[in-house]
Amino acid sequence: MLRKFTTVGMYGLAVLWLFPLLWAVWTSFRPRELATSWSLSADFTLDNFAKVWDSAPFDQYYINTFLIVTGILVAQIITATLAAYAFAKLQFWGKDVLFVLFLVQLMVPADILIFPNYNVLRDLSLLDTKIGIMLPYFASAFGVFLLRQTFKTIPHELEEAARMEGCSWFQILWRVYVPLAKPTYIAFGLVSVSYHWNNFMWPLIITNSVENRPLTVGLAIFAQSFETGAQWAEVSAATVMVIFPLLLAFLVFQRQFINSFIHSGVK
């Protein structure tokens, strides 16, 4: 009895959880006059999307977000691979201290240092640039720990064998470690991309022009340009447009996506 009750409750919860998304999608296809009413009619339109596309430079925002997310990911993978190898396989002076320094970044993430980092960017004259949005995230302690974990499990004999064959250290890293850590790279890549795709506060503060604004900031500006409630259909359409790419990617790669998240936090 109780079991049945919880089962129904948990399925109900799933429906409740889906509701906001379904509602936003529904509203985004409704004609403007009907957006706020709950009538069930067969009136659907693409006008809202067309209007959004015309009235704000969302194409530019897409490109910006794409460039920012890609730039951060590439830089993070390079810096994290090098650092992770050092932490996983080498004994050197100051290792423990450096490890703690990296730990601190996990505890005090760049997200809360918005004001201090604004000053740093101002001093570097990098305000309102895409590179400015990216720079604070180029080093990722999270990525370093994740890769270090994986590199540690790779037996030393493989490296020895490669060295015997005359591989340089770079070749060893590139031919032995990187391919064997592929699942971790995928996991980290997904986490990093979804994180930076969603990032808002930091780009909001330092960007100031259409050329550099990412989707999230563009969406916020678009939504705030209306009086509350007046343009639900259009704001919903814009919201759906911003959500859509990541959500689609998630639905297609659902299994991998969830497994990668599982991978990323706990080993």
Partner 1 sequence: MGELRAKWKVNMYAWLLLLPSLIFLLLFTFYPVIQTFILSFHQADLGSPEPFFNGIDNYKQMVEDEVFWKVLTNNIWFAIGTVPTSVALALGMALFANKALRGKSFIRTAYFYPTVVPMIAVANIWLFIYTPEYGALSHVMEWFGKGDMNWLGDQKNVMWAMIFMVIWKEAGYFMIFYLAGLQNISQELYESASMEGASSWTVFRRITFPLLMPTTMFVSIIAFTNSFKLVDHLVIMTKGGPDNASNLLLYYIYETAFSFWDQGMASALTIVMVVLLLLVAAFQFFAMDKKIHYN
The residues in 176-215 that bind partner 1, with binding defined as CB under 8 A, are 194, 197-198, 200-201, 204-205, 215
Distances 173 to 29, 32, 90 between C-alpha atoms, Å? 51, 57, 13
Task: For residue 48, state whether it binds partner 1 (rule: CB under 8 A).
Answer: no
Task: Tell how far CA 110 is from the center of its chain.
Answer: 14
Name the amino acid, one letter, at 207.
Answer: T
Selected range binding partner 1 among 54-62, 137-145, 157-165, 175-183, rule: CB under 8 A: 137-145
Tell which residue, 182, 196, 222, 264, has the closest CA to residue 56. 222
Q: Which is nearer to partner 1, 19 or 44 (CB)?
A: 19
Q: Which is nearer to partner 1, 29 or 145 (CB)?
A: 145
Q: Which is nearer to partner 1, 98 or 158 (CB)?
A: 98
Task: For residue 5, state whether it binds partner 1 (rule: CB under 8 A).
Answer: no
* Cα–Cα distance, 161 to 134 (Å, whole number): 38
Selected range binding partner 1 among 56-64, 82-90, 156-164, 181-189, rule: CB under 8 A: 82-90
Residues between 99 and 118 with contacts to partner 1, criterion CB under 8 A: 101-118
The two three-digit tokens of residue 121, written as one number: 């960017």
Binding residue for partner 1 (CB under 8 A) from 27, 192, 207, 212?
A: 27
Task: For residue 8, state whether it binds partner 1 (rule: CB under 8 A).
Answer: no
Q: Which residues contact 117 (CB under 8 A, 6 or more apart)?
A: 110, 136, 202
Task: For residue 45, state whether it binds partner 1 (rule: CB under 8 A).
Answer: no
Selected range binding partner 1 among 19-27, 49-57, 158-166, 175-183, rule: CB under 8 A: 19-27
* Cα–Cα distance, 192 to 70 (Å, whole number): 10
Selected range binding partner 1 among 48-56, 157-165, 177-185, 228-236, rule: CB under 8 A: 228-236
* Cα–Cα distance, 52 to 47 (Å, whole number): 9
Q: Would you say 184 and 150 are in contact if contact means Cβ atoms under 8 Å apart?
A: yes
